[in-house]
Amino acid sequence: MADYQASIDIDAPPEAVFEFLVTDRGLTAWMGQWAALDARVDGAFAVNIAGYAIRGRFLEVDRPRRVTMSWGVAGNDELPPEASTVCFELTAIDGGTRVDLLHAGLPPISVDGHADGWAHFLPRLRVVATRGVPGIDHWTPRP
């Protein structure tokens, strides 16, 4: 299994950024077209992204420092629901928040596609967390 890591700085406090990770409306403002989130330990994590049903459970909810969820794709044998984990760690920095992302436990064949997705979506998180409008999302996974 493989991991993917990325970081992004956002000009908003951790409390504001955190809401975009744990609420249906917040998450779909920057990633996905539909979400049903129950942001408590063992609560459901469900989001549809570009036709893919991402399913998992919240594993850790430490407001506003960290949120970790299991992550997988319904109907996908290589990365089934809850097969990997996604952790967002939020650290207050001068003028905002550093968001460190760790997507762990990915099958090697899935790393490039997830790296492409996170490289697309994290800048959209920055836009919405600073009250911007990221525009219509036309991202699709690499073949």
Answer whether residue 142 shows pLDDT above 90.
Answer: no
Cα 99 from Cα 86, distance rounded (Å): 12
pLDDT of residue 28: 97
Of the chain, the percentage scoring pLDDT greater than 90 comes to: 94
For the record, the structure tokens of 41 come out as 């330990």
Helix (H, G, I), strand (E, B) or coil at 29: coil
Q: Say which CATH superfamily domain 2-129 falls into.
A: START domain (3.30.530.20)
Using one digit for the tens of pLDDT, what is the confidence trace for 34-73? Answer: 999 999 999 999 999 999 999 999 999 999 999 999 999 9
pLDDT of residue 25: 97
Taken as a whole, the chain contains a residue count of: 143
Cβ pair 39, 23 in contact under 8 A: yes
44-49 and 2-10 beta bridge pairing: unpaired
pLDDT of residue 72: 97
Q: How many CB atoms lie within 10 A of CB 52?
A: 17
The overall longest dimension of the chain from CA atoms, in Å, is: 43
Give the start-to-end residue ranges of the domains of the chain.
2-129
pLDDT mean across residues, the chain: 96
Contacts of 80 (CB under 8 A, 6+ apart): 72, 73, 74
Cα 91 from Cα 25, distance rounded (Å): 23
Residue 2, φ and ψ in degrees, nearest 5: -130, 165
pLDDT of residue 143: 65
Cα 76 from Cα 131, distance rounded (Å): 35
Cα 83 from Cα 94, distance rounded (Å): 36
